[in-house]
């Protein structure tokens, strides 16, 4: 009997995986019937359905979409069937608990899948993997139970995502998840870490997942007003030392509700972006929290006794009630009267109220130096809110509310920059950190600003941008040592006399190379080579480079041999994203850019032959010389 069941399964699974779309519906029916008749086949049938849904979408008069919807519906029905709770009375089954080792809760892997309308309402999952999934239709996880990790990193929800009353028994990962409409987590319970921060996986060097990572295909970054910042998919474990590092966090374009949600451990929203109201009414927090965005409303929220020893960062305007006002074992979050009259005006839908809020914040920072960094963080979080309209549209094409939003953003930018440059009529705010990762900035003028740190990774600079004469203790326009998280300049940019370090602009994307102005050693090198980045005739660049090299070094046999191995051309991106092409100086006949080899000579012991000829050369001098070589090569590259 068992062999017959296995044969039926193998036959149906093979036909479902085959190229003949005409037999897929029959195969789905056979698998569904098999799982109903033989409960032991639930798991292998679910695995076959997941493999099918992870496969490519076949465009055949829309039939593929209907088949995928049918497969998802069968998978959901299997996940709702739970022998341990089938006999539990109605109304009690929803809260019947399962442990992480429950064999009846289905493990599913829909990594990278493209899903139509899905309804996983009331489903019970073990480990659920939805990383890089694209939910194109309605999406319901109301009342779902996840006994192990729920992995949604980098997933994209095109329509409302519903997780009302969901139970997450382990870590829930929504790192860099994009919610393009609304999101409802009301009444959800997070027993493990609720992660809405960066979206890159951290893998040990010997992890077999690195082989799988090469096949990962994230959903295209086609967000309004933004180039693809090339946020990383995975990094080596240990590259990040703490949670406040890395790429973009979760992105909520529409209204999101965590009303009555319960976070038993950390609730982490570092670099998360809220494009509309974010309701945390009556939410309970039991661990570490980072939630500083001005759109957040914490009315009625509380801290449990387990949270008191943990660090929490709240939006400006909210604070924990002073001792003596606790409600049992809970502490309440209340409006912070110490920053009155600011009461969250930046979250108000009325643009005039938001402008008033900016004025209040500026005055508050002028009067209270110890609050200046929190004011700056609040304004930066506001500027990181995703915009729902095209900022490049003609001003006369904007609606009144859109025009008002542009005006408010310009005022927010000026609040940051005017107070960090010397002025006769106001005190300068010293040692400020601008955290503008992923922000959409319009005609950003930071000329002459003095800042301790500027984080512009993934930022989108529209209109004219100037950093002329600006100075930073530290500044980043991409993630460390990589082109990942690069900033984009959509208009003219001026870095004249800006005090920037060696690698600062290397990986930025300039849409108008001929409008970039710069002075100083590093910027002069970049400016000199920017013209090559926009060329449509790589053969001309190759010819010019070879001629210049031979002119400078003479036509010796070694130089003649050298130039035959170098050319200007285009190479594909990494294996997980070959479409991310780069152009630059490369080894003839290969897909290897010279800059990818040149960095290997940096910071190494001075070669013996060099040391013998130049005994006075120090290690630092050798490192500086080789870094300049790499900079020159990198500056020739174009995406």
Q: What is the pLDDT of residues 360-371, one digit of tens each?
A: 999 999 999 999
Segment 602-625 mean pLDDT: 73
Helix (H, G, I), strand (E, B) or coil at 420: coil
Whether the Cβ atoms of residue 597 and residue 583 lie closer than 8 Å to each other = no
The 10 Å CB-count burial string (b at 16+, else e) for 596-628 is bebeeeeeeebeeeeeeeeeeeeeeebeeebbe
552, pLDDT greater than 70: no
8-state DSSP, 532: H
Range among 51-55, 425-429, 592-596 rated most confident = 51-55
pLDDT attached to residue 269: 98
Other CB atoms within 10 Å distance of the CB of residue 561: 9
8-state DSSP, 89? P
Taking the C-alpha atoms of 149, 153, 159 and 160 in order, what is their torsion angle to the nearest 10 degrees? Answer: 50
pLDDT value at residue 335? 96
Return the pLDDT at 622: 74
Give the predicted TM-score (pTM) of the model.
Answer: 0.82
The string of pLDDT tens digits covering residues 98-155 is 777 788 899 999 999 999 999 999 999 999 999 999 999 999 999 999 999 999 999 9
| pLDDT computed for residue 61 by the predictor | 46
Of residues 624 and 111, more confidently modeled: 111
Q: Average pLDDT of 365-391?
A: 96
User: Distance between CA 493 and CA 474 in Å, rounded?
Assistant: 19
Helix (H) or strand (E) holding 4: helix 2-17
pLDDT surpassing 80 at residue 527: no
Strands 234-236 and 161-162, bridge-based pairing: unpaired
Do 487 and 477 contact (CB within 8 A), yes or no?
yes
pLDDT tens readout for residues 581-604: 877 777 888 887 777 766 556 556
- 373 neighbors 432 (Cβ within 8 angstroms): yes
Q: What pLDDT is attached to residue 412?
A: 98
For residues 201 and 609, which has the higher predicted lDDT (pLDDT)? Answer: 201
Average pLDDT over all residues of the chain: 86
DSSP assignment, residue 308? T
Predicted local confidence at residue 483, as pLDDT: 79
Residue keyed to tokens 């095109």:
158
Quick one: average pLDDT of 194-218?
Answer: 87
Handedness of CA 147, 153, 158, 163 (dihedral sign): positive
Spatial neighbors of 443 by CB under 8 A, at least 6 apart, are 410, 413, 462, 463, 464, 465
Q: What percent of the chain has pLDDT over 70?
A: 82
Q: What's the pLDDT score for residue 361? A: 98
State the pLDDT at residue 519. Answer: 47
Structure token digits, residue 543: 């010819």
Can you state the angle between helices 63-80 and 24-37, rounded to 10 degrees? 10
Residue 627 has pLDDT above 80, yes or no: no
Given this model, what pLDDT does residue 601 score?
A: 64
Query: What angle do the packed helices 372-383 and 351-367 form, to 10 degrees?
Result: 150
Contacts 24+ apart (CB under 8 A), 514-523: 515/491, 516/489, 516/492, 517/468, 517/492, 517/493, 518/494, 519/495, 520/495, 522/631, 523/495, 523/496, 523/498
| Average pLDDT, integer, range 39-46 | 92
- Per-residue pLDDT at 508: 87
- What are the residue ranges spanned by the domains of the chain? 1-81, 107-335, 356-531, 538-635
Calculate Rg over the CA atoms of the chain: 28
Residue bearing the bigger pLDDT, 510 or 444: 444
Task: Write out the H or E segment, with its range, that includes residue 65.
Answer: helix 63-80
User: Higher model confidence: residue 14 or residue 99?
Assistant: 14
Across 9-18, 76-85, 185-194, 573-582, the highest mean pLDDT is recorded for: 185-194
Give the model's pLDDT for residue 90: 45
Confidence of residue 213 (pLDDT cuts 50, 70, 90): confident
Give the model's pLDDT for residue 96. 54
Tell me how crowded residue 167 is: count the other CB atoms within 10 A of its CB.
23
pLDDT at 85: 57
3-class SS of residue 231: coil
How much is the pLDDT for 529? Answer: 44
């Amino acid at each position: 009997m068992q062999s017959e069941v296995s044969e039926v399964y193998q036959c149906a699974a093979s036909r479902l995986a085959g190229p003949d779309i005409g037999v897929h519906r029959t195969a789905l029916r056979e698998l569904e019937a098999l799982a109903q008749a033989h409960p032991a086949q639930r798991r292998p049938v679910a695995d076959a359905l997941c493999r099918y849904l992870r496969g490519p979408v076949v465009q055949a008069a829309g039939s593929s979409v209907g088949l995928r919807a049918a497969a998802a519906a069968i998978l959901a029905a299997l996940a709702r069937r739970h022998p341990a709770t089938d006999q539990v009375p109605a109304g009690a089954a929803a809260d019947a608990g399962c442990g992480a080792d429950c064999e009846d809760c289905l493990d599913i892997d829909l990594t990278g899948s493209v899903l139509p309308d899905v309804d996983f309402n009331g489903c019970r999952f073990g480990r659920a993997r939805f990383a890089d999934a694209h939910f194109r239709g309605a999406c319901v996880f109301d009342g779902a139970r996840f006994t192990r990790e729920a992995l949604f990193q980098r997933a994209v929800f095109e329509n409302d995502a519903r997780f009302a009353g969901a139970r997450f028994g382990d870590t829930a990962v929504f790192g860099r998840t994009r919610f393009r409409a609304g999101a409802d987590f009301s009444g959800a319970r997070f027993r493990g870490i609720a992660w809405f921060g960066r979206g890159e996986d951290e893998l040990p060097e010997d992890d077999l997942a690195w082989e799988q990572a090469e096949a990962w295909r994230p959903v295209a970054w086609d967000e309004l007003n933004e180039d693809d910042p090339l946020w990383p998919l995975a990094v080596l474990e240990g590259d990040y030392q703490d949670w406040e590092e890395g790429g973009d966090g979760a992105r909520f374009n529409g209204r999101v509700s965590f009303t009555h949600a319960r976070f038993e451990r950390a609730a982490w929203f570092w670099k998360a972006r809220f494009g509309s109201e974010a309701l945390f009414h009556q939410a309970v927090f039991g661990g570490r929290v980072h939630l500083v965005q001005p759109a957040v409303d914490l009315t009625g929220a509380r801290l449990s006794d387990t949270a008191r020893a943990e660090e929490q960062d709240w939006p400006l305007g909210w604070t924990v009630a002073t001792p003596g006002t606790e409600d049992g074992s809970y502490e309440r979050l209340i409006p912070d009267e110490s920053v009155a009259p600011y009461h969250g005006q930046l979250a108000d839908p009325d643009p005039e109220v938001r402008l008033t809020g900016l004025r209040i914040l500026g005055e508050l920072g002028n009067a209270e130096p110890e609050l200046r960094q929190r004011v700056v963080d609040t304004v930066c979080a506001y500027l990181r809110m995703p915009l729902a309209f095209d900022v490049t549209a003609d001003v006369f094409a904007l609606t009144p509310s859109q025009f008002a939003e542009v005006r408010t953003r310009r005022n927010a930018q000026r609040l940051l920059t005017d107070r960090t440059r010397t002025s006769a009529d106001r005190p300068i705010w010293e040692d400020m950190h601008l955290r503008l990762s992923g922000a959409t900035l319009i005609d950003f003028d930071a000329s002459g600003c003095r800042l301790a740190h500027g984080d512009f990774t993934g930022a989108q600079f529209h209109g004219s941008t100037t950093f002329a004469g600006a100075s930073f203790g530290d500044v980043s326009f991409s993630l460390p040592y990589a082109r990942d998280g690069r900033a984009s300049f959509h208009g003219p940019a001026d870095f004249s006399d800006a005090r920037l370090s060696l690698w600062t602009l290397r990986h930025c994307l300039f849409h108008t190379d001929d409008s970039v102005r710069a002075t100083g050693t590093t910027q002069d090198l970049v400016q000199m080579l920017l013209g090559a980045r926009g060329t449509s005739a790589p053969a001309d660049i190759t010819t010019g480079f070879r001629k210049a090299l031979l002119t400078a070094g003479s036509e010796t046999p070694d130089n003649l041999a050298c130039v035959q191995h170098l050319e200007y051309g285009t190479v594909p991106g990494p294996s997980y994203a070959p479409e991310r092409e780069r152009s630059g100086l490369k080894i003839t006949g290969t897909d290897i850019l010279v800059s990818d080899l040149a960095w290997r000579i940096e910071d190494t012991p001075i070669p013996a032959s060099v040391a013998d000829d130049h005994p006075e050369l120090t290690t630092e001098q050798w490192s500086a010389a080789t870094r300049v070589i790499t900079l020159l090569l990198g500056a020739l590259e174009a995406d």
